[in-house]
């Protein structure tokens, strides 16, 4: 089923915060299903698994606080680490009811969360369990997660249903709204008081403190949108397309394109 495959095999993205005095420095990492990492803008490439041969596709990525490393996670829970990313455990040896669909790191970099399509959550290192939907019958599968700076985390489902846990508060969802295309990802507002959802056609749905800055919904890219990343100010975001382009909105600066020609996982 092509649509389900796209939602499970989603590109992973990470924002590279600018150092002091260099506000124009920005970058995003994009990873393909085979584990090839491509850096946009000033993001650092410190290795990947792009030679293929993985038993299951890469479905998520998280970057360390230093921006000198990152983790990749596969659908069967294998963790691959690069640079200064430390290994804290994996779900590879556990029987999974549903495949892993995403991950998020803690603010310290001392741990990470893995989320499965049924909303089961797996915590490692200093990541703390705050709840899950693993025992709830969902209308649509979970397609991603985001952590809140106030503690806790959100899950987002393919229909835009939001599930909030711990210090992460509920600000609204598209669960009851007819969508032209399914939701493929979310980004938290830096304040923790809101979030954006993005659909495959580039439609953007803001909630709480997250404000609408534009979308690709009126002229969706042929490769589709596979995710989004918010700027640290919360006044902008990038939408990343299936062919590896970053479309900027609000105060998000333009990013140098990857020199590689590739198709992002699921495009």
pLDDT at 11: 37
Q: Which residues contact 262 (CB under 8 A, 6 or more apart)?
A: 32, 36, 38, 243, 244
Question: At CB < 8 A and 24+ separation, what contacts does 22-31 make?
Answer: 24/253, 26/231, 26/252, 26/253, 26/255, 27/255, 28/229, 28/238, 28/240, 28/246, 28/255, 29/61, 29/63, 29/70, 30/240, 30/244, 30/258, 30/264, 31/58, 31/61, 31/72, 31/265
What is the C-alpha separation between 232 and 35, in angstroms, rounded? 26
pLDDT at 82: 95
On whether residue 267 sits in a domain, the answer given is: no
pLDDT at 213: 98
pLDDT at 109: 93
Model pLDDT for residues 166-190, shown as the tens digit of each residue: 999 999 999 999 999 999 999 999 9
Residue 154 clears pLDDT 90, i.e. is over it: yes
Range with the lowest mean pLDDT among 51-55, 136-140, 200-204?
51-55
On whether residue 47 sits in a domain, the answer given is: yes
Name the domain count of the chain: 1
On whether residue 130 sits in a domain, the answer given is: yes
What is the C-alpha separation between 208 and 168, in angstroms, rounded? 12
On whether residue 92 sits in a domain, the answer given is: yes
Q: For the domain that residue 239 is a member of, what is the CATH number?
A: 2.130.10.10
On whether residue 256 sits in a domain, the answer given is: no
Residue 153 clears pLDDT 50, i.e. is over it: yes
pLDDT at 246: 87
Tell me the whole-structure pTM to 2 decimals.
Answer: 0.88
Q: In the structure, what pLDDT confidence band is assigned to residue 232 with cuts at 50, 70 and 90? A: confident
What is the residue range of 167's domain? 2-250
Q: In the structure, what pLDDT confidence band is assigned to residue 17 with cuts at 50, 70 and 90? A: low
What is the C-alpha separation between 255 and 234, in angstroms, rounded? 17
On whether residue 263 sits in a domain, the answer given is: no
Residue 5 clears pLDDT 90, i.e. is over it: no
On whether residue 158 sits in a domain, the answer given is: yes
pLDDT at 266: 37
On whether residue 73 sits in a domain, the answer given is: yes
Average pLDDT, the chain: 85
Phi-psi region of 246 (alpha: psi -120 to 50; beta: other; left: phi over 0): beta
Share of the chain above pLDDT 90, in %: 61
- Choose the most confident range, by mean pLDDT, from 49-58, 122-131, 215-224: 122-131
CB 202 within 8 A of CB 238: no
What mean pLDDT comes out for the span 43-65?
Answer: 87
Sign of the CA dihedral running 54, 64, 186, 243: negative
Q: How far is C-alpha 142 from the chain's CA centre?
A: 12
pLDDT at 259: 47
């Amino acid at each position: 089923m092509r649509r389900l495959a796209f939602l499970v095999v989603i590109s992973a993205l990470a924002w590279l915060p600018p150092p002091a005095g260099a506000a124009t420095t920005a970058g995003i990492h994009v990873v393909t299903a085979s584990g090839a990492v491509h850096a946009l803008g000033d993001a650092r490439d410190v290795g990947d698994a792009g030679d293929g041969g993985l038993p299951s596709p890469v479905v998520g990525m998280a970057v360390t606080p230093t921006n000198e490393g990152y983790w990749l996670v596969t659908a069967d829970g294998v963790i691959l680490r690069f640079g200064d990313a430390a290994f804290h455990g994996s779900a590879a040896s556990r029987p999974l009811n549903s495949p892993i669909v995403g991950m998020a790191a803690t603010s310290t970099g001392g741990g990470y969360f893995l989320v499965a399509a049924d909303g089961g959550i797996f915590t490692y290192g200093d990541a703390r369990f705050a709840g899950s939907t693993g025992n709830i019958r969902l209308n649509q599968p979970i397609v991603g997660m985001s952590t809140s700076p106030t503690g806790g985390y959100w899950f987002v489902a393919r229909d835009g249903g939001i599930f909030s846990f711990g210090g992460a508060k509920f600000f609204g969802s598209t669960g009851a709204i007819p969508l032209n295309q399914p939701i493929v990802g979310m980004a938290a507002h830096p304040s923790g008081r809101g979030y954006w959802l993005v659909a495959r056609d580039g439609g953007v749905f803001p909630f709480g403190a997250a404000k609408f800055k534009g979308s690709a919904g009126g002229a969706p890219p042929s490769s589709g949108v596979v995710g989004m990343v918010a700027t640290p100010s919360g006044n902008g975001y990038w939408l990343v397309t299936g062919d590896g382009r970053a479309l900027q909105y609000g105060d998000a600066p333009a990013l140098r394109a990857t020199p590689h020609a590739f198709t992002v996982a699921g495009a």
